[in-house]
């Protein structure tokens, strides 16, 4: 009996051992299979996952490209400065280290110690410090503390062109001006370096060498001329100070291309230390602020009248002896005028006359003309924050609204819009897009992108633009409102503006004005358009008195910059005199079909100029280097010397012009 029991026990024991052995074997095979799976089948996947856990790609901001003026002089550069970093996980005595570091950096001890106690592998202690403090930190030779080269944006001429350039922040990101508009171009491609992290995700290693080979962005070349910009800012600042104004604007533009040679806005700021200035000073008022243009808007009313053939320069209007009631409001002139021609309305700046001209044109045609000149929409200049201005749809205009708009009330423009529109007159009626960046080049100077002049559209006809130019010439002649804007011996075409500012409590202020002068020169061959706006001058407030002299100084500086020489002695400057309505016996001569002058010129002879426009005659005189005297406006009816005579060097040429029948 005992023997049977023992046999059964040994049998179950062996069975249990077999089962246990099979279990161990199965478990071992599972472990082997899992190991094969992890080490062979999933090796690459798990390796990449592990690397993601303890390795991290850190983006490094590249060195910003240089901003040059049109003559490739540096206006904004990036300089290497040193920044202090620490690895808190490697610092065993943060309090003692912090005390020494705070003394070298002239920083509060508590602030430095707090950073050194952070549970992080990498912290900034101080960014972009001066060389003396960097050397003081280096001499301490503190464990876990080091210095890294970082580029810092530097503007070598302080506040020069500050609103054009803008500035870049601590992270080298452009925040205002060209720095913001062309940020991706100037910053270039962001580089990446690998850092190591511990199990808690803290950075434990980041090689300083990565900061010494930062890539550089592209360089930007502006249309702005540094020397002219300096003179414009100096003249504008002196004017603002003289009249204790709250601000000012100035623009110099090439009318044929839209290139901005200078753009100034006051108050200004220093982009090197922009944080010390109120944010209000960052605003580029030339493109962000709108104002009522006042009497400068009369030139565009005249443009509408000429372009629609609703009036001619000699067309007469009764100006009600200085007082005219319309729509429950009385419009006043500064002087009591009776009958004035359209030219005289512009010359003497009659509000009543401008309103009557506009009513003769009609709301829809006026509105279309204003839109064609670029008002009520952004100019699309390459700067951020541009306003579109205010130009309400013409269907909402009441008669009194139309009258007000004709002398610049009830409509709002930016300084750049006004300069762009005046440039269209100077450019024969063609509206150009203003721009400030001429080209983008790489580090080797190879061209990456070039901005070309861009035509926006035609604002008025070429012939009508010539007529309007002749009218604007009269503004700076004796008796006109803009005599203080003269730049003798160059002829100046322009318009004054004295715009009442809105009173916050309602209506118009009786003490606050915008003093404006806008124009171009030389009138017979425009090289520069200049705009000057003075915000709320004290004492005097008339545009011709306040803005006119500043305009004259800036315009002369612009001509000097462009290398425009005055006419030689003995040459009589062009001034298109405003005639009375032509006699009925002469218009047929003014309508004569012009003859191609090329064959006569090829033979060295005086061509037949009859029938040519003023602009065509001036262009021919420039090409042949003739001294020219012009009388009248319209098309050539007589000339001296007569056609067919041999042309002599520096030949004196006199032409008489008259309008076509009907004054069109």
Q: Would you please indicate which residues are annotated as catalytic (active-site) residues?
A: 295
Q: Write down the residue that tokens 């006043």 correspond to.
A: 332
Indicate the DSSP class of residue 220. E
Please report the sign of the dihedral spanned by the C-alpha atoms of residue 234, residue 240, residue 246, residue 247: negative
Indicate the DSSP class of residue 107. -
Question: Are 105 and 126 a contacting pair, CB within 8 Å?
Answer: yes
H/E stretch holding 85 reads strand 74-86
Q: Reduce the DSSP state of residue 279 to 3 states and report it.
A: helix
CA atoms within 13 A on the CB side of 305: 31
Residue of 103, 141, 470 lying closest to 312 (CA atoms): 470
Question: Are 522 and 229 a contacting pair, CB within 8 Å?
Answer: no
Residue of 515, 482, 480 lying closest to 497 (CA atoms): 515
DSSP secondary structure of 133-179: HHHHHHHH--TTEEEEEEEEEE-TTTTTTHHHH-EE-TTS-EEEHHH
- Would you call 82 exposed, middle or buried from its count of C-beta atoms within 10 A (0-12, 13-18, 19+)? buried
Indicate the DSSP class of residue 428. T
CA 196/CA 181 separation, integer angstroms: 36
CA 600/CA 608 separation, integer angstroms: 8
Separation in Å, CA 618 to CA 103, 153, 428, 462, 629: 73, 48, 13, 14, 10
CA 518/CA 495 separation, integer angstroms: 6
CA 508/CA 218 separation, integer angstroms: 49
Question: Are 401 and 377 a contacting pair, CB within 8 Å?
Answer: no
DSSP secondary structure of 332-396: E-SS---EEEHHHHHHHT-HHHHHHHHHHH-HHHHHHHHHHTTTTS----SSSS----B---GGG
Distance of CA 46 to the CA centre of its chain: 54
H/E stretch holding 657 reads strand 652-658
Pairing of strands 437-441, 219-222: antiparallel
219: how many CB neighbours lie within 10 A of its CB?
A: 23
Bond preceding residue 233 cis, omega within 30 of 0: no
């Amino acid at each position: 009996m005992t023997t049977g029991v023992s046999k059964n026990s040994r049998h179950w024991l062996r069975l249990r051992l077999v089962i246990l052995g099979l279990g161990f074997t199965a478990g071992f095979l599972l472990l082997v299979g899992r190991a094969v799976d992890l080490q062979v089948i999933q090796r690459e996947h798990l390796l990449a996952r592990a690397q993601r856990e303890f390795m991290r790609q850190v983006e490094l901001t590249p060195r910003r490209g240089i901003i040059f003026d049109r003559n490739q002089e540096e206006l904004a550069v990036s300089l290497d400065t040193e920044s202090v970093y620490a690895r808190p996980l490697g610092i065993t005595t943060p309090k003692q280290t912090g005390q020494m570091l705070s003394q070298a950096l002239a920083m509060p001890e508590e602030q430095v110690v707090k950073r050194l106690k952070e549970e992080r592998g990498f912290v900034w202690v101080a960014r972009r410090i001066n060389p003396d403090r960097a050397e003081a930190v280096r001499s301490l030779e503190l464990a876990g503390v080091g210095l890294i080269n970082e580029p810092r944006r530097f503007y070598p001429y302080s506040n020069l062109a500050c609103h054009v350039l803008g500035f870049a922040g601590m992270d080298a990101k452009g925040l205002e001006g060209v720095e913001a508009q062309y940020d991706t171009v100037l910053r270039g491609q962001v580089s990446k370096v690998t850092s190591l992290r511990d199990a808690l995700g803290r950075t434990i290693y980041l090689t300083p060498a990565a900061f010494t080979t930062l890539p550089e962005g592209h360089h930007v070349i502006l249309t702005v001329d540094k020397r002219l910009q300096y003179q414009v800012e100096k003249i504008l600042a002196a004017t603002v100070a003289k009249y204790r104004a709250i601000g000012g604007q100035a623009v110099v533009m090439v009318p044929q291309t839209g290139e901005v040679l200078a753009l100034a806005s006051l108050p200004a700021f220093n982009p090197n230390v922009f944080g010390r200035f109120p944010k209000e000073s960052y605003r580029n008022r030339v493109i962000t602020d709108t104002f009522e243009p006042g009497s400068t808007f009369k030139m565009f009313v005249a443009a509408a009248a000429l372009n629609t053939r609703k009036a001619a320069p000699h067309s007469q209007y009764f100006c009600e002896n200085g007082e005219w009631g319309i729509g429950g409001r009385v419009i006043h002139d500064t002087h009591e005028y009776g009958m004035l021609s359209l030219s005289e309305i512009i010359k003497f700046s009659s509000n009543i006359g401008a309103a009557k001209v506009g009513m003769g044109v009609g709301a829809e045609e006026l509105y279309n003309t204003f839109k064609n000149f670029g008002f009520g929409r952004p100019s699309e200049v390459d700067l951020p924050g541009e306003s579109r201005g205010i130009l309400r749809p013409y269907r909402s205009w009441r008669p009194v609204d139309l009258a007000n708009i004709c002398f610049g009330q009830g409509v709002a423009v930016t300084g750049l819009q006004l300069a762009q529109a005046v440039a269209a007159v100077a450019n024969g009626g063609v509206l150009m897009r203003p721009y400030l960046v001429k080209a983008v080049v790489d580090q080797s100077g190879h061209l990456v992108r070039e901005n070309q002049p861009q035509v926006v559209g035609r604002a008025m006809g070429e012939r009508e633009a010539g007529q309007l130019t002749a009218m604007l010439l009269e503004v700076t002649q004796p008796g006109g409102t803009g005599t203080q804007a003269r730049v003798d011996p160059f002829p100046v075409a322009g318009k004054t503006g004295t715009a009442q500012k809105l009173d916050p409590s309602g209506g118009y202020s009786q003490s606050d004005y915008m003093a404006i002068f806008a124009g171009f020169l030389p009138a017979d061959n425009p090289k520069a358009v200049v705009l000057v706006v003075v915000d709320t001058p004290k004492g005097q407030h008339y545009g011709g008195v306040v803005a006119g002299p500043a305009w004259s100084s800036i315009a002369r500086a612009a001509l000097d910059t462009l290398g425009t020489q005055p006419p030689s002695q003995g040459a009589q400057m062009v001034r298109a005199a405003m005639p009375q309505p032509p006699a009925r016996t002469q218009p047929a001569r003014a309508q004569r079909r012009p003859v191609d002058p090329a064959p006569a010129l090829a033979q060295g002879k005086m061509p037949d100029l009859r029938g040519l426009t003023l602009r065509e005659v001036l262009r021919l005189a420039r090409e042949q280097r003739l001294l020219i005297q012009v009388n009248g406006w319209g098309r050539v009816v007589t000339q001296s010397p007569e056609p067919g005579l041999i042309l002599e060097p520096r030949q004196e040429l006199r032409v008489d012009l008259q309008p076509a029948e009907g004054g069109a």
